[in-house]
Chain A
Amino acid sequence: MSEIKVNKVSPRTGTYVSLNTVGMKNIIINGDMSIAQRGTSATGLGNGDNGYHTCDRWKLLESGTPTYEFTQSQSTDVPSGQGFATSLKMDCTTADASLNADNLIRIAQVIESQNLQYLKFGTANAESLTASFWVKSSVTGDYNVHLYNYGSGGGARIISSTYTINSADTWEKKTITYDGDTVEAFLNDNTAGLNLTFTLGSGTDYTSTDATSWGSYSSGKLAYGQVANIASSTANNFYITGVQLEAGTTASDFEFLPVDVNLGRCQRYCTVFMDYGAGDTNSNRLYNSDYANVHGMARMGYPRMRAEPSLTYSSVGFSIHADYSSNGLIQLMASGDTNFRIYDILAEAEL
């Protein structure tokens, strides 16, 4: 048997590697915009179109009653030689050169609380966070990007920073480091914990209050420092990819994941079934089976999601009477109808 003899064992000094700085270090899901289950293009996005449209996990947020409209798409325009194949594009199709005071255009990712515990927010050891990303826009100038902490009961908090797009229509890499929030912790559950938000245009209601250090949320902080307005002309567009948010004060290289891993992470929040979006009622259909010779029932299992999802589907000539679905199973019943089918099925349990 081998033997190791030492005279003294001393504590390690110097910098420790924080948890999650290697392997799955990126808090952001689908930062390379490679997964777009709902579709690769959505047109006419403006008033009332808060939500998820193309690239998975990326939420469009608008405020007020804007008149602008955008097409959002998964684009193949990417920074050269960086390994990216896709980006998220916002293309202005109806302009609003002078936003109303209550108008706000944002793209955000909301992150689940229980994935954030290692950041130690709400303690003196709260980890700093560094965001890095590639952007390209026809509109140069200053853009707001902020973190929003949903909190654990003490109220929401916010910190923001700005970056500058220096050259029109040119890919630029940006890096921003935020202090950790030593005041407010995250809940440890499946609810929203933190969001990383990119502002693309703002009215004056949201730009007036300094938010360059962590503080209680107020709407005046939401777009502090934002000058650029990508809605100002139909010639405008905005691209973003390679979004990474990681613990620490330095930005490491973007963490590329295999498609199965990336898709699996997205499917906790959104799952599409069969040939979603094709409108094909033949190969894209989920048939019922008989239930007690009275009720038709359609059933299909899928990977467990964050919570019981909303279920969107199309149907032919019948009405679903009852829904016994859960966060891993579609189970729909049509009373008195033993022959039905649904298609273009989308399950969403987004934050």
Chain B
Amino acid sequence: MNFISATYMYDMEGVNKTHIKLELGNNKFKHIPMNEANTDYQAIQEWSAIEGNNIIDNGGGE
């Protein structure tokens, strides 16, 4: 999985995390739902478990 950055997305109220947004470059993005049935979510969890990898959490802001 190749991407520039990974950031948590929140609902409009800024309370609940709903997705992980990957920036792929050239104004291209990928939203991964935080759902164990989604294999991309499984993969990003494995990625984030590696030391040095980080999903950015802006607490509901962009």
Q: Is the beta-carbon distance between A351 and B39 smaller than 8 angstroms?
A: yes
Q: Is A274 at the interface (CB under 8 A from chain B)?
A: no
Instruction: Identify 21 residue pairs between A and B in the complex whose beta-carbon atoms are under 8 Å apart, listed by A's number.
Output: A48-B2, A190-B37, A295-B12, A308-B33, A309-B38, A310-B33, A311-B30, A312-B30, A313-B29, A314-B27, A315-B28, A315-B29, A319-B62, A320-B29, A320-B31, A322-B9, A322-B10, A324-B18, A325-B31, A348-B40, A351-B39
Whether the Cβ atoms of A308 and B12 lie closer than 8 Å is: no
For residue A109, give the distance in angstroms from its CB to the closest CB of chain B.
14
Residues of A within 8 A of B37 (CB): 190-191, 306-308, 349
* Bitwise interface map of B from 17 to 47 toward A, beta carbon under 8 Å scored 1, else 0: 0110100101111111101011111000000
Q: How many residues of A contact B (CB 8 A)?
A: 31
Q: B1 contacts the other chain (Cβ, under 8 Å)?
A: yes
CB A149 to nearest CB in B, in angstroms, measures 18
Instruction: List residues of chain B with CB within 8 A of the CB of A316.
Output: 27
CA distance A325 to B9 in the complex (A): 12
Judge whether A314 and B18 touch: CB under 8 Å. Answer: no
Known contacts: A312-B28, A314-B28, A316-B27. The answer to whether A349 contacts B12 by CB under 8 A is no
Q: A335 in the interface, Cβ–Cβ < 8 Å?
A: yes
Number of A-B residue pairs with CB-CB distance less than 8 Å in the complex they form:
72
B51 at the interface (CB under 8 A from A): no
Which residue on A lies nearest to B10, using beta carbons? Answer: A322
Partner of A350, one of B19, B26, B27, B39: B39
Given A323-B18, A323-B19, A310 and B31 contact (CB-CB distance below 8 Å) = yes
| Residues on the A chain within 8 Å of B2, using CB | 48
Interface size on B, residues (CB 8 A): 25
Q: Does A299 contact B (CB under 8 A)?
A: no
Tell me, in angstroms, the Cα distance from A319 to B28 when the chains sit together: 11
Residues of chain A within 8 A (CB-CB) of B31 are 310-312, 320, 323, 325
Q: A48 to chain B: which residues have CB within 8 Å?
A: 1-2
Asked if A307 and B28 sit within 8 Å, CB to CB, the answer is no
B62 and A310 contacting across the interface, CB-CB below 8 Å: no
A328 CB to closest chain B CB (Å) equals 13
Beta-carbon contact of B38 and A310 below 8 Å: yes
Q: A48-B1, A319-B62 are in contact. List 16 more A-B contacts (CB 8 A).
A: A307-B38, A308-B37, A310-B32, A310-B38, A311-B30, A312-B29, A314-B27, A315-B28, A315-B29, A316-B27, A321-B9, A322-B12, A322-B18, A323-B9, A323-B19, A324-B18
Flag if A313 contacts B28 (CB, 8 Å). Answer: yes
Please indicate the chain B residues that have their CB under 8 angstroms from the CB of A88 in the complex: none
Given contact pairs A190-B37, A308-B38, A309-B38, A321 touches B28 in the complex (Cβ within 8 A): no
Within 8 A of B (CB), among A107-122: none
A296 to chain B, nearest CB (A): 12
- Which A-B residue pairs are the 8 nearest by beta carbons? A307-B37, A308-B33, A310-B40, A312-B30, A311-B31, A314-B28, A323-B19, A310-B32
Query: Which B residues touch A314, using CB under 8 A?
Result: 26-29
Within 8 Å CB of A313, what residues of B? 28-29
Rounded to whole angstroms, the CA-CA distance of A323 and B35 in the bound complex is 14
Cα–Cα, bound, A330→B60 (Å): 20
Measured in the bound complex, the distance between the Cα atoms of B10 and A113 in whole Å is: 32
Please name all residues of chain A whose beta carbon is closer than 8 Å to the beta carbon of B28 when the two chains form the complex.
312-315, 344
- B11: nearest residue on chain A (CB-CB)? A322
* Cβ–Cβ contact B38 & A312, under 8 A: no
Residues of A within 8 A of B29 (CB): 312-315, 320
Question: How near does chain A come to B57, taking the closest CB pair, in angstroms?
Answer: 15
Interfacial chain B residues near A306, Cβ < 8 Å: 37
